[in-house]
Amino acid sequence: MSVSPFIGVLLESKEALQRQYHYHYVRLSGVRDDEVWQRLLKIHYAVSLLRLLPIWLPPSIGLMMMFGITGASFVWFGHTMLLLLYVTSHIVRGSTFRAIGAFSAFFFRMASFAIGYVVLAAIVPLLQLSRQAVRMYGLSLSYLVYMDGYVAHWQQLFYERMTSWREGWLFSSATLSFIGAGFALLALICFSFTRASHSDKTAYMLYSWHQRVIESLKIRSTNNAILYKDLCLLTRQARELTKPPWSLFLPGEWFLVAGANLALLPIVHNGSIILFLFMFEMYIVMTGTLRAITDVFRDIFQFESEMERLTVFRLLSPPPLVPLIEAKWTLLERLGVYPCMTAVGLLLLEYIGLLGMRGGLWAAMGAVVMMPVYSLVVKRILRTDYEVFCLVLASGEQAALTSPRDYAGYMVIAAGNHSFHRLLIYITVFSSLLSAFFMLLKGWSWACYSVLFVLMLYLVLWNSSQYARRT
């Protein structure tokens, strides 16, 4: 518990860190790039420790108060292990070897799979217990007494397990402290091997699905200069990918929901619940896949190439903003078809494998219902970068920004654009868990709940996509 918040710190990308700490401005000091990057990583880790202090400190103190030296050894072991993972992850990201880059992508996706499975594996027994108690006692005081008894029983088992570990030689405080010291020493030694530059990384080559997208849009681009420019950028960048192409087809979100399904789906028998789960997960996977594409082709979909040509856009009166965003929509919508179909298809196969053909039919029905969402998701993903680009263009600022995400107010604009969407996701997760735990919905009432979710999702996405005409 004391180290779990640092998982997000390990997964932060190099580009996000560079924007957060203004890496390109720090480089102007004249110090070597690798030294600047190592200094930035030290600052980031220290800032993360302080920022997450209210989250990891109370559980750490609790372990130390309950188990004494052994608890402190567990805390030390956990933090040194994550420090080593932090250093290792940045060494791998700076590597010029293709095999290491592929292993890094695979490792973090397996970590997402494990997180999804572990979280749901912990929730499912409690869910089953709560539903059993509701059937026996209803939502009454007896239900609370029944649940409290089981929670107290689990707490006692946890305490006994930790006590037995403390007495065993394998989990002795001396052993944990020694291993933790080894992790810390290894992290300090390996830290000097972190590198900032990725320019000489071995590139991945163009795949046939890229080529089909380019060929299908060539005729349309003859009458659209912006689309033609983006196609040329795509042709060049698709031959120099810094990530394995398979990572675009299977983003981290897919592994997260796949791991969760492995623990959850075996206990689901209601077809309406299967329908809801697949629609919700399909939306999450679709969003993650399209975001992965925009992260790989940042010059095109994050408007970095347009930021380099701000002066040209300012000379045009009026600047072609609507044709610009429509060209991005067209290209991303066409480019994301194959990865999204692959990810959703594999998700459907998982449902068939865990639930049989009957569950697969419910999931396929959900896929058909969610297909029209695709174009709306494309527009929502591009919204913030486009609006920030328009804002910088209209402001007349001469600041040397390489990306709209370098703009000081980017996070504020993004929070405003995504507020209703995040609220819908949070409400959906909370209400579905509440309904499942206390059996507030039964049978076909879950079908009505699914319809309500789809209607609200369409409404939120439609509202998020109506921005081009307002700029």
Could you give the CA distance from residue 139 to residue 210 in angstroms, rounded to a whole number? 56
Could you give the CA distance from residue 322 to residue 108 in angstroms, rounded to a whole number? 38
- pTM here is 0.77
Instruction: Say if residue 199's pLDDT is above 50.
Output: no
Could you give the CA distance from residue 89 to residue 220 in angstroms, rounded to a whole number? 42
Cβ atoms of residues 189 and 88 within 8 Å: no
pLDDT score of 283: 96
Please choose, from the candidates 196, 204, 197, 162, the residue with its C-alpha nearest in 3D space to the C-alpha of residue 41. 196
Q: Which residues contact 437 (CB under 8 A, 6 or more apart)?
A: 126, 127, 130, 131
Averaged confidence pLDDT in the chain:
81
Specify burial of residue 372 (Cβ count, 10 A radius: 0-12, 13-18, 19+).
exposed
pLDDT score of 2: 40
pLDDT tens, residue by residue, 66-116:
777 777 887 888 888 888 888 877 776 665 555 556 666 777 788 889 889
Cβ atoms of residues 344 and 367 within 8 Å: yes
